[in-house]
Structure 1
Amino acid sequence: MSNKTVLARSLGVSRRSLYYEPRQPEKDWQTKQLIESALRDHPSYGHKRLAIHLGINKKRVLRVMKLFGLKPYRRHTKKYPKRPKYSVFPNLLLTESPRGLGDIWVSDFTHIVKYENRWVYLATILDLWNREIVGWSVLTNHSTQLVMNALLNAIHDHPPPRIIHSDQGSEYNSVDYTTLVHARDTLISMSHPGCP
């Protein structure tokens, strides 16, 4: 009895199976070449689109791509820095309260009516001491100009406050608005997102 017969019996397989050579590596190599050829024509195709293009099972395409380290070309978009979660200006109203008339102002805006299919926006400045409106502005867009006009309207008739408070809207975070406020030696206070 030959050694291969003894080995086959001890393993519980036929002697013929000892001569078996898997064809998978050859098949994988052919698939790899097909994928590389397709990627030259369609560099951004992922495994699903390649499978459709080549008429091959997507699992097989994915397995071969992983096996040989094939990856589609990915266009890298420019990453922009994320806006900070909280404003660079603290919420001073958490620790400060008005010391008198004109000490702390609060600013906000809202849309009030629709005129000729356009919203009309009203920005107001309120004195926190007596809840009196000290400045306002109306425009057909909510822009930095809207809130700056309201502030200029208030400063025209009243001395600038020690603190002006608002939300973190882009209008209030703009360079023009913050420069205007700082030029009056006024501190900027802003709420955290989702807080009044």
Structure 2
Amino acid sequence: MKQDHPKLSTRRQSTLLSLTRSTLYYQPRGESAENLKFMSIIDKQFLQTPWYGSRQMSRHMQREGHRCGRHRVRRLMRLMRLVPIYQEPNTSKKNPAHKTYPYLLKELAITRPNQVWCTDITYIRMERGFLYLVAVMDWYSRKVLSWRLSNTMDVGFCIEALKEALATYGPPEIFNSDQGSQFTSTEFTDVLKAAKVKISMDGRGRWIDNRMIERLWRSLKYECVYLNAFETSSEARRGIGAWISYYNEKRPHSSHGLLTPAEAYARQEPRLKLAA
């Protein structure tokens, strides 16, 4: 990133790097080294046991020899947007002033690309802090269509990712998300309405409908994030970008036999899953 680039503005450079402008000035979040260590432990354990609430997670921490009480665990899990699957499915705080939309995917057969897109936000640990990652995924093919990193939970980075996906691939028929405040905000939903996209939101008890993108987060963290100690947002962007390219272009997805997500997305007609 060059502040005085003769041809590219800071805004254009941040767009090309899949970063929000605020992330360019990233400073480690105000958590102690001990809390950052606990957050890393919690994140890994939650991928293994996504039904753990703060009580069970604090018991796990104490059994492992960590002095971390339930109140601290609960605060850190909220900060990381971790909600156990037996609770409501949204993994970010609702805003009661925002309109929510009905769930449109019940008993819907998803058989083609661009029929349904989905989105979610996850926590990305850093060497001395953390970032948030949002991704837009095509439900049928599992292809990641766009993504953004941010050091805040403001809606802006979600809108940037959405607009990029729409500009690159055209609108889907349905866009599904949880009821987090970023996705229920009028700024976000107005973009979908302008593109004439039907809005669908997970309701109570529908946590399973986010399973596709939750599996993406699990793979990303175990195969990329946990194997690297990203020190800067630029390092995180390069590492995550390289992994997403590998996931889209090189790695066959189990739901499509030998096809990668990019190959499945490129097909106009669904195909039978190849025998294992």
- 1:136 maps to 2:136: no
Structure 2 residue aligned with 1:122: 133
What residue identity is the alignment partner of 1:89?
Answer: Y
Distance in 2, matches of 1:193 and 1:139, equals 28
Structure with greater proportional strand content: 1
What residue identity is the alignment partner of 2:191?
Answer: L
Q: TM-score by structure 1 length?
A: 0.53
What is the percent sequence identity of the aligned residues? 27
Equivalent residues of 2:155, 2:188 under 8 A apart: yes
* Alignment map for 1:83-102 (pairs within 5 Å): 83=96, 88-102=100-114
What residue identity is the alignment partner of 2:168?
Answer: D
CA distance 1:193–1:145, change in 2 (3 Å)? farther
- 1:178 maps to 2:189: yes
- 1:165 maps to 2:176: yes
* Offset, 1:115: 5.8
Equivalent residues of 2:100, 2:179 under 8 A apart: no
Equivalent residues of 1:121, 1:138 under 8 A apart: yes
| RMSD of equivalent CA atoms | 2.2
Q: TM-score by structure 2 length?
A: 0.38
Structure 2 residue aligned with 1:103: 115
* Offset, 1:143: 1.9
Equivalent residues of 1:104, 1:165 under 8 A apart: yes
Distance in 2, matches of 1:149 and 1:174, equals 14
* Alignment map for 1:50-89 (pairs within 5 Å): 83=96, 88-89=100-101
Structure 2 residue aligned with 1:33: none
* Offset, 1:194: 5.3
Equivalent residues of 2:117, 2:176 under 8 A apart: yes
Gaps of 5+ in 1: 1-81
* Offset, 1:96: 2.5
CA distance 1:129–1:183, change in 2 (3 Å)? same
Higher relative contact order (CA 8 A, sep 6+): 2
Distance in 1, matches of 2:105 and 2:154, equals 24
Equivalent residues of 2:100, 2:184 under 8 A apart: no
CA distance 1:194–1:114, change in 2 (3 Å)? farther
Gaps of 5+ in 2: 1-94, 208-276
Equivalent residues of 1:135, 1:154 under 8 A apart: yes
4+ residue runs of structure 1 moved beyond 3 angstroms? none
Q: Aligned with 1:91: secondary structure?
A: coil
Distance in 2, matches of 1:184 and 1:155, equals 8
Equivalent residues of 1:137, 1:146 under 8 A apart: yes
Structure (1 or 2) with the larger CA radius of gyration:
1
Aligned residues: 113
* Offset, 1:102: 1.1
* Offset, 1:125: 0.6
Distance in 2, matches of 1:106 and 1:171, equals 14
Equivalent residues of 1:114, 1:120 under 8 A apart: yes
Distance in 2, matches of 1:168 and 1:91, equals 10
